[in-house]
Amino acid sequence: MKISVIIPVYNSQDYLRECVRSITSQTYRDLEVLLVDDGSTDGSGDLCDALAAEDQRVVAIHKPNGGTSSARNTGVERATGDYLTFCDNDDFLRDNRCLERVAQSLSARPVDVLMHDNCMYDDSKGAVIPPKETNLAEKIAGLSKGDALLELISQGLMARAVWNKVVRTELVRANGIAFPEGMRNEDTDWSASVLEHAKSVGWLDDPYYCYRKGTAYAQTSKPVTRSMTDDLAIVIEKHVAAIDELGLSGTEARSIRAYLAYPFIVWMGQAAALGECRKDDRTSLEMCAHAPLLLTADEDRAVHLASLSYHIFGFWGTARLLGIAFRLTRLSSLRHQS
C-alpha cells in the first residue's frame, strides 16, 4: 500500500526541510512525497530539488504561482499512491511511526477516508500541544458512514482541513474531485466532496499531524473580507445542492448537512461582523433560506447553541449575536498575538 503525501510549497525555506524530513524518516517506507513548488520567490524551489536529490521517494514539481488549490491539484494529478494525504509546508508529523500506524489501520479495515485529529505546535515556545485523547476507532468501525460522521461531529472531531484525512486516490479521481482555484475555503469544499462520495470512513486515535501556529504563514492572522464570506456561501450552496443531486438520504444526508452547519454559522458570524448580513443582500437571503435545513442538523455543540438562538431570535437576530461573538474572538486573538 503506497501513500502519497502532497505538499504545496511557497516561500517556506525556513521550515520545509523539517517538514519533509518528518515524512521521509517514517518507518513506513512505501510512500512518496510530492513537493509542488508554486512559483516560490525565495530559495524554496532549489530546496525542493535538493530534497528530491537526497531521497528518490521525494519528487520536486515546479509550476507558476497559482495558489494552494492549484498546487494541490497538481500534486493529486501526479500522485501514484493507493492513498493520498496532504501536509502544509510548515507543519510536520509528530514521530517516525505515524504512517506505519495509518497503514496498519487501513490494512486491518480498508476505508475510503481515514480521519484523525492533530496536535498544535506553538512555534514561539517550541512545544507540541496534544488534543484530548480519543478512543473511538473501534466504535466508528462498527457504524455506517452517516452514523460515523454524525458521531465524529457530535464529538467535535470533524475538521474541514484536508491534512487530517487519508483518502483513497481512486475515490478522488473517479469522481473528479478537485480543489476550487481562485477562492478561499477550499478545504471545506474538497472535504465535503470526499465525504459525499465516500462509501466508508474510519477514525485513527492518533493525532500525529502537528499544525504549526504562530508563524507568518498562518491563514488565521489574515482579516476576513467580503470575498471570503462569498466564497464560503458558494461552498455551502454547492453542497446543499449535492445532497439531492447525489441522492443522499437518511443519516448520510443528515451527516453532510451537519458537516455544512458549522461553516454555515461561521458565515453568519463573519458576514454579520462585516455588516454584510442584510435583508437587502441576495447572498444573505439565500443563506437565510438554508437556515431551517442546516440548523436542525445540530450535532455540533456550537451549531446546537446557534440553533437554540435561531428558534428564539430568528436568522437575523442570531446572525447579529454571532457577529458580536466573532468580533470579540477576533479581538482576543489579536491581543494574544501581540
Strands (E), the chain: 3-9, 31-38, 58-63, 83-86, 92-93, 113-122, 127-129, 165-168, 201-213
Q: Parallel, antiparallel, or unpaired: how do β-strands 165-168 and 58-63 relate? A: unpaired
Q: How confident is the model at residue 334 (pLDDT cuts 50, 70, 90)?
A: very low
- Which pLDDT does position 263 carry in this prediction? 98
238-297 pLDDT, tens digit each: 999 999 999 999 999 999 999 999 999 999 999 999 999 999 999 999 999 999 999 999
User: Does residue 111 surpass a pLDDT of 90?
Assistant: yes
Cβ 200 vs Cβ 141: under 8 Å: no
Q: Is the four-CA dihedral 320, 160, 134, 92 of positive or negative sign?
A: negative
- CA distances to 224, 234, 327 from 227, rounded to whole Å, are 8, 10, 18
- Which pLDDT does position 16 carry in this prediction? 97
Check: pTM over 0.85? Answer yes or no.
yes
- Cα 238–chain centre separation: 17
- Which pLDDT does position 335 carry in this prediction? 37
User: Does residue 338 surpass a pLDDT of 50?
Assistant: no
- Which pLDDT does position 303 carry in this prediction? 98
To which residue does cell 516561500 refer? 11
Q: How far is the C-alpha of 155 from the C-alpha of 151, rounded, in Å?
A: 6
